[in-house]
Structure 1
C-alpha cells in the first residue's frame, strides 16, 4: 500500500501545482489525497503490529498510534465520497443549478460531520452501516453527474473520455471494496485497491503528457509559451534596434543616388535598393509588433458588434475567393471584458487564415454564442485542415505551415493565444486533415473578468506598497 499512497499523493500534488485555480482539479486532488490517507492507515497497521510485538512497546504509544490510524481512516472513508461528489459538480457545472452548487460543499458536509459522533465497534475502523447510507448515494450521484456530461467539441469529447477512464473505474472499485462489501460482512477488501489505482494513475500520466488532463497540460504549455514569448520579445527588440538604423542609411543613400545619377539604368537600380530596404523595414516592423509584451486596455465590449465588424472587413476578400460566409448569433447582447483593438486583430487574423486555407472556395462559418458563464466565438472553415502532428505546434512562435508565403512569420496564432490567456480566456484549435479547421475564442464571463482585473490591481498595489516600505526601511 505504500506504493498506492505514493502515487495518489503524487497525483494530488501534481494537480494542485499545475492547475489549482480549477475547482474540479482541486476537488479531484482532494479525492486522491483522501485515497492516499486511506493507504497510510493500512501502512500504519503494519507499523503498529510490528511495534506491539517488540519488547520495548509502550501501551500509551500503541494507543496514540491507534488513534492516529483511526483519524486517517475517518478522513479517507468520509472524505472520499464527499470530495468525489464535489469533483463531479465542479467538472459538470451545467448539471447543477448555480444556487445549489454554491451551498453544496456545506450541505454535503453534514453527513460526514454527523458520522464523527456515531459509535464505532472496537474491531472496525468506521461504522459501515450508517456510512453506506450516504457514501454510496454520494458516489452514485457523482458518477451520474460525470457520465451525463455532453461535450460537443472533438477535443472536449476526448478529454471527457480520458477523465472518465482515469477516475471512474478506480473510484467505483474503491466504493465497492470499501463501502458495499463491508456492509455485506466482507471486510478488509481494501487491499485489492492496489489493482485499480495504478491503472488509473497510468492513464493519468500518459494523457497528461500526450493529450492533457483537466487542463493540466494546457497550463504547462501556457507557461512554456509565455517563456518563449518573453525571450522572443527581448531578442526582436535588440534585432530591431540593430538593423533599423542601417536600413535607414541604405534608404537615404539609395535615394540620394537616384537623384544624383544621370543614367536611367542607375536610377532604376537605386529604386530597387529603396524598395528592398522598405520591404526589410516592413518585415522587421511586423515581427516587432507581434512580439511585444502585450499591454492590455480592457473595456466592456459587445462581442457581436466586434465580430460583425471583422466579418464585414473580410467579406470582399471572401467573395473574390468564392467563399460563402455563414454568420450566426445564438445569443444577443453578449458583453465581455476585453481589449477591443487587440481582440479585433486576433479575430481578423484567424478569419484571414481561414480564407487562405480555401483558395478554391468553400464555406466559412462564424458562430457567436454565450451567456452568464462567458462567450464563445467559433470560426470554422472547410479548407484542407491541419495535420495531427502539427496541431499542437500551431500556437508556438514562428511555427507556420505557410512557408512559401511572404511576410508570414508564424506569429499570428501565437499572438492570439497569448492575448486570450492574458484576458483570462482560451484559444482552442481543432482540425482534421482534409475536413477543415475550427478556432474558438473562449471569453470568461464579464463578472469573472472584472473580479480578475480587480484582484490583479489589488495585487500590484500591495506589491508596490511593500516595495515602498522596504525602501523606507533601507
Structure 2
C-alpha cells in the first residue's frame, strides 16, 4: 500500500506544479490525494504498526496517533474520492458555467455528512459501502459520462486529443475504483479484490509517462504542454542572449569597416577601386539593417495588460491592411458572436499578432489563387476564455512543417531575406505570455486556420494598467 501512496503522491505533485490556480487541476490533485490517503491508511496498520512491533516500539501514544491517522485518511479517501472525481470532471469539461460549478460544489458533498453517522470507527473504520451504492456509484458513473461527452463534443482538434489522453489515463483508475472498491465491497466487504486497484493505478502512471514522452501525443489535463512551453521558453531566452552577443560583435566590426572607409580618399583611387569601396559601403549598410531587424525580432516580449475589445483590435488590423486586401482581391468575412468581446491583453502586442497573421494569410492566398477569402471569427469558448480564429483558403502548410512553424527562425517562405522565421514565433510568445495559446490547423491547397485563446480575466501576477494606446490605422 505504500506503493499506492507513493505513486498517487507523485501524480499529485506533477499535476499541482503544472497550474496550481486551475480549478480542474486542483480537483484532480484532491482525487489523487484521496488515493494517496487510501494507501497511507492501509499502510499504517499493515506496514508501520507491524514494523514498530518488530523493533519493540509499541508505545501507546504512537499507536493512538496511527489509529487516528488510519481513521481520518480512511474516511477521507473513501468518501471524498467520488465527490472530488465528479467535480474534476465538471470543471475539466468546460461545459458548466461558474454558477453551476458553485452549486455542484455545495450540493454534492451533502451525502458525506450523513456518512459521519453511519460509519463504524472502532476498533477499526468500516465505511458504509451499502449506502454508497446510492450516491458514490452514480457520482463516478456521472464523472465518466461527463468526460466522454466533453470529448465527443470537443471541436478543437488539439483539445480533443488532450481529452482522449486524459480518458485513457484516468478511466482505468476510475472504473477499477467503481467496481472493486465500491460495488464489490458493497456486496461483500470481506473480500480483498480492492487491492488489485494498485495494478490499474500503476498502469495509468506508465500510460502518462508514455504520453508525456511521445511526440504528437495528447496530455493529461494539458500537463504535457507546460513542459513543452518551458522548453520553448528556454530556447527563446538562449536565442535572445546569443543574438544580442552576435549583434554587438558584428556591429563593432562594421563600425571599424565604416571608420576605415571614411579615411580613404576615393579621389586617389582608380575606377575599379572606387567601385569596390562602394560595394563594401553598401554591403556594410545592408548587414547593419539585417542585424537591426533580427535584434528587434528577438527582444524579450513584455506584456502589460489592459481591458480591450478584441473586435476593435481586429477591425483596426483589417483597416491597416485594407489596401493590400483590396489590391489582391481578397474578401474578408467577419463573424463576431457579440458586439464586444472584452479581455485583458496587451493591445499593442495583440494588434501586432493580428496584423502578422493577416499578412501571412494574404501571402498564402496570393501564391495560388486570384480570389481569396479570410474568415475572422470571435466567440466564447467558455466562461473563462474567448477564441479568435483566422481561417484562409491559401496554400496551406505541409503536415511535417506544422510542429515547427512556431520555432524561432523556421520559415517556409521563399523570400528568406525579408522573412527570418520569427513572425509565428513572436505570435506564439505573445499568446503564451498573455496566458492563452495559439493553435494551427492546415492542409495543402485548402488553407490554414489559426485559433488564438484569450483569457477573459486577469490572473495573479499579471502586469496591468487602466488603459494603453496602440497603433491604429487612419486609412
Q: Provide TM-score, normalisation by structure 1.
A: 0.84
Classify the secondary structure of the residue corresponding to 1:133.
coil
Provide the rounded CA distance (Å) in 1 between the counterparts of 2:135 and 2:53: 38
Structure 1 residue 153, shift from structure 2 partner: 1.1
What's 1:468 paired with?
Answer: none
Closer/same/farther in 2, CA of residues 100 and 327 from structure 1, 3 Å limit: closer
Judge conservation of contact 1:380–1:437 (CA < 8 Å) in 2: yes
Distance 2:445 2:196 in 1: 47
Counterpart position of 1:97: 97
Q: Distance in 1 between matches of 2:420 and 2:394?
A: 21
In the superposition, relative to structure 1, how do residues 52 and 388 fare at CA in structure 2: closer, same or farther (>3 Å)?
A: same
How has the CA–CA distance of structure 1 residues 265 and 55 changed in structure 2, closer, same or farther, with 3 Å as cutoff?
A: closer
Aligned residue for 2:468? none
The equivalent residue for 1:360 is: 368
Task: Report how far residue 63 of structure 1 moved.
Answer: 5.4
In the TM superposition, what are the counterparts of 1:381-460 in structure 2 within 5 Å?
381-402=392-413, 405-432=416-443, 435-445=446-456, 448-449=457-458, 453=462
Verify the 8 A CA contact 2:5 2:40 in the aligned structure 1. Answer: yes
Confirm or deny that 1:308 pairs with 2:315.
Answer: yes
| Alignment deviations for residues 55-110 of structure 1 (CA, whole Å, 9 cap, x no partner) | 9474845555344323221121012112111111210232x332231343343333
Which residue in the other structure is 2:205 paired with? 201
Two-structure CA RMSD over aligned residues (Å): 3.2
Q: Residue 382 and residue 252 in structure 1: after superposition, are their counterparts in 2 closer, same or farther (change >3 A)?
A: farther
Contact 1:382–1:435 (8 Å) recurs in 2: yes
Note if contact 1:368-1:376 (Cα within 8 Å) is conserved in structure 2.
yes
User: Cα 1:22–1:391, aligned 2, differ >3 Å: closer, same or farther?
Assistant: farther
Higher helix fraction: Structure 1 or Structure 2?
Answer: 1
* Equivalence map 1:127-138=2 (5 Å): 127-138=128-139
Match of 1:342 among 349, 352, 357: 349
| Number of residues of Structure 1 aligned to a counterpart in Structure 2 | 453
1:180 matched to 2:183: yes
Most deviating of 51-60 and 133-142: 51-60
Matches within 5 A, 1:264-343: 269-318=276-325, 323-343=330-350
Cα shift at 1:159: 0.9
RCO greater where, 1 or 2, for CA within 8 Å and sep 6 or more?
2
Q: 2:274 and 2:309 mapped to 1: Cα distance?
A: 53
- Does structure 1 residue 30 correspond to structure 2 residue 30? yes
2:235 pairs with 1:225: no
In 1, Cα distance between equivalents of 2:203 and 2:171? 11
Partner of 1:377: 388
Distance (Å, rounded) in 2 between the aligned partners of 1:219 and 1:293:
20
Alpha-carbon distance change, 223 to 51 in structure 1, aligned in 2, over 3 angstroms: closer
Query: 1:4 and 1:52 mapped to 2: Cα distance?
Result: 21
Structure 1 residues 159-170: aligned runs within 5 Å: 159-170=162-173
Once residues 161 and 303 of structure 1 are traced to their aligned partners in structure 2, the CA distance between those partners, rounded to angstroms, is 31
* Unmatched tracts of structure 2, length 5 or more: 466-475
What residue number does 1:72 align with?
A: 73
Give distance in 1, aligned partners of 2:265 and 2:155.
Answer: 62
> In the TM superposition, what is the alpha-carbon distance from 1:170 to its structure 2 partner?
1.6
Using the alignment, how far apart are the partners of 1:49 and 1:425 within structure 2? 50
Alignment partners' CA distance in 2, 1:106 and 1:264: 89
Specify whether residues 381 and 70 from structure 1 end up closer, same or farther in structure 2 by C-alpha distance, changes over 3 A only. Answer: same
Of 157, 160, 181, the residue aligned with 1:157 is: 160
Displacement of 1:158: 0.9
CA distances 1:337-384 after superposition (whole Å, capped 9, x unpaired): 222222221222222223333411254322222385332211123345
Q: 1:343 to 1:59 in 2, by over 3 A?
A: closer
Q: Alignment partner of 1:393: what SS?
A: coil
